[in-house]
Amino acid sequence: MTIEDLHKILSKGESLHLEFKEARIKVPNNFYDTVVSFLNREGGTIILGANDDGVITGIDKTAVDQLKKDIVTALNNKDVINPPVNFPIYQLEDKGLIVLYVKIPVSSHIHSHDGIIYDRENDSDIRIEDDSRISELYFRKRNHFTENEIFPYLQIEDLDNNLFDKARSIIRSVNASHPWLTINNMEILRSSGYYRKDIRTGEEGLTLASALVFGKDLTIQNILPAYKFDILVKLNDLDRWDDKLTLRTNLIDTYLQAMDFIKNRSRLPDMFYLEGDQRKDLRELIFREIIANAIVHREYTSAYPTTMIIYKNRVEITNPNKPLFRGLLTLDSFNPYAKNPNIRKFFSEFSWVDEIGSGVRNVYKYLNIYSSGTKPLFIEDNQFKTVIPLVGSVLGEERAAAFIELVGLNRTKLDSETLESIESLNLAPDYAEMNDTNALFFAKDRSLGWSWSKKGVELENLRIKINNELPENPSFEGWSWAEKGVELFDKRTMNLIKILLLCLTPKNIEDIQNLIEFNSRNKLREIYINPLRVACLLEYTIKDKPNSSNQKYVITEKGKDFLGGFDL
């Protein structure tokens, strides 16, 4: 989390997933009530060192270390939180004021603080003492996490002893003093939540998660006959495949064999990167996150397979999913959420996954180094789709010149920084190999022009329009780009696109008015600037002082995605 992220969170106010607490010198008494309510409901974030209005009050610098120790000790003490939990505590400093924040994932268990169960409603922690409410909570957990389903006739003999030894070996390489190294197999199952008792029904036994992680292949096939993880290489043979791996085995070996395929048979290029004084394998960093997240977030009761297809210019992964919402996940919008928290916890003990939500952030971070000028796509739906572009495409000098003339900007008035920013605009994978500039802007149903028009309908108040009467592949023989632009856009649409292009570098209102040759400054704000801000395509450079005399406007990441034809 950055300082900017912190301010965005504080500006939202307390909610179902957000809580602010003052903590000058000690942990507030109700902190653990909120921890438990987040665990029992849908997870959330607690900011320590801010008041209920989202104003940072800070934590005394001399008390920070002790405060952290007190929290970690309490979270691991079953007399405080039962069952115990453990998550990292992060620290930020803003203008000399220290805050701590804790990201709490939803849990598959029911937790209590000092013997009292809490649930989250709106921005409040509610004591749950009524038997019917407690039963309802157990029922909600059981239905929400299919990994928790108890199979009464599944016995420890149906699990593979060799996998317990393999798990201990992996854990020993990470933490030589881990408590699981000294306990027996059944104790491992109990402590990881793979053997559980349903308090509502009295039923107890091994769960679906235990079979997936430790089950013999025959056991897994009996419980989930349709389950499989396919990796296909389609570099030359798009109708069939060049190479293929099909996995119908336990999740430990699924991860290990999938990573071995990526390293040795995928034909994905390896690339090394020096981060600080550490030499890192970018291919491994990126696909470790992709494969681990596919495994720990999959909906295993679905009959659909997990499929990874490696093409020349991209990798696509589809994964059966229980969606929390539908649409594109971005760094600004996504709320990390463990779909199978017990499986995820086990992978965390192996150090195969890190902090919840880190997978998406790491892929964003390293992909642009591995494949310059690219960004991943994460789309939440019944089939969670991930697209990893392998070929970066920017607008480039020739197409940028056409674009500038197309929307009616005067190239001679643009400074070099703005010109370079337009030329460096990233294009979505669909446009990466479009060499015909006419087709890039005009081809029916597959051009940037059509992309803007479609998204403009979805974005409130933009009303971006293009000429729908154009032929499928207009030639415009003998036409200038300026003439083509007049044919494609109405005047309002042309001005909206102009402003987004100009604001690839920060511009004040006077600069924008002069460069698009618009008469009224007030109407410029009303008709163009404000709708672009409402649609989150444009933002202030000085966010906390909208009326500052030094205020400028700059395109957002969403605005760049809009121009480049990416999904929003």
Q: Cα separation of 122 and 172, whole Å?
A: 43
Q: Which residue has the tokens 């453990």?
A: 86
**What is the CATH T-level fold of the domain 3-131, as seen in this structure?**
3.30.950
- In DSSP terms, 102 is beta-bridged to 46
- Spatial separation of the C-alpha atoms in residues 216 and 221, rounded to whole Å: 9
* Domain extent listing, the chain: 3-131, 146-223, 229-250+266-389, 396-564
Query: What is the distance between the alpha carbons of residues 356 and 232, in angstroms, rounded to a whole number?
Result: 28
- Buried b vs exposed e over 62-82: b needs ≥16 C-beta within 10 Å? ebbeebbeebeebbeeeebbb
Exposure on the CB side of residue 487, measured as CA atoms within 13 A: 15
Angle between helix 161-174 and 341-349 (nearest 10): 60
CB atoms within 10 A of CB 288: 20
Q: What is the per-residue burial (b if ≥16 Cβ within 10 Å, else e) of 525-540?
A: beebbebbbebbbbbb
167-186 burial by CB neighbour count: b if 16+ within 10 A, else e?
bbeebeeeeeeeebeeeebe
According to DSSP, residue 56 is labeled B
Q: How many CB atoms lie within 10 A of CB 283?
A: 18
Tokens of 144: 């929400």
Provide the 8-state DSSP code for 413. G
Provide the residue type at 158 as one letter.
D
**CA 490/CA 496 separation, integer angstroms:** 10
Q: What Rg, from alpha-carbon coordinates, does the chain have? A: 27
What DSSP string runs through 471-490?
Answer: -SS---TT--HHHHHHHHB-
Q: 3-131 and 396-564 share one CATH topology?
A: no
Q: Which of the 8 DSSP states describes residue 112?
A: E
* Cα(125)–Cα(160) distance, integer angstroms: 42
> What is the residue-wise DSSP string for 280-310?
EEHHHHHHHHHHHHHHHH--TTSSSPEEEEE
pLDDT of residue 431: 77
Give me the amino acid identity at 120: R
User: 381: number of CA atoms within 13 Å, CB side?
Assistant: 10
Tell me the C-alpha distance between 408 and 524, whole Å.
17
Omega before residue 429 within 30° of 0, cis: no
Q: In the prediction, which pLDDT does 470 show?
A: 61
What's the one-letter identity of residue 8? K
Q: What is the DSSP letter of 426?
A: B
Question: Can you read off the two tokens belonging to residue 248?
Answer: 């119908």
- pLDDT at position 255: 98
Per-residue pLDDT of 114-143, as tens digits, reads 999 999 998 899 999 888 888 788 777 766
- Please name the CATH architecture into which domain 229-250+266-389 falls: 2-Layer Sandwich (3.30)
CA distance 159 to 205: 13
Burial, 373: exposed, middle or buried (Cβ in 10 Å; 0-12, 13-18, 19+)? middle
- What are the beta bridge partners of residue 46? 19, 102
Residue with structure tokens 């003093």?
A: 177
Distance in angstroms (rounded) separating the CA atoms of residues 198 and 196: 7
CATH architecture of the domain with residue range 396-564: Orthogonal Bundle (1.10)
**Residue 550 structure tokens:** 């030094």
pTM of the model: 0.60
Q: What's residue 220's pLDDT? A: 97
With b for 16 or more beta-carbon neighbours within 10 A and e for fewer, the 321-335 pattern comes to: bbeeeeebbbeeebe
CA distance 246 to 254: 9
Cα–Cα distance between 230 and 248 in angstroms, integer? 9
Per-residue pLDDT of the chain (568 residues; tens, 9 = 90+): 788 888 888 988 999 989 999 999 999 989 999 999 999 888 889 999 999 999 999 999 999 999 999 998 998 888 899 888 877 788 999 989 999 999 887 776 788 999 999 999 988 999 998 888 887 887 777 666 889 889 989 999 999 999 999 999 999 999 999 989 999 999 999 989 999 988 767 889 999 999 999 999 999 999 998 899 999 999 887 888 999 999 999 999 999 999 999 999 988 988 998 888 889 899 999 999 999 999 999 989 888 899 999 988 889 999 998 776 667 777 766 666 778 989 998 998 999 987 666 788 889 889 988 887 788 888 888 789 998 988 777 788 888 898 899 888 999 999 888 998 898 888 887 776 677 787 787 777 677 777 877 776 666 667 777 766 666 566 667 777 787 777 777 888 888 999 999 999 999 999 999 999 998 999 999 989 998 998 888 999 988 888 888 999 999 988 888 888 887 6
Per-residue pLDDT at 407? 87
Helical spans, DSSP H, in 96-182 = 131-144, 161-174
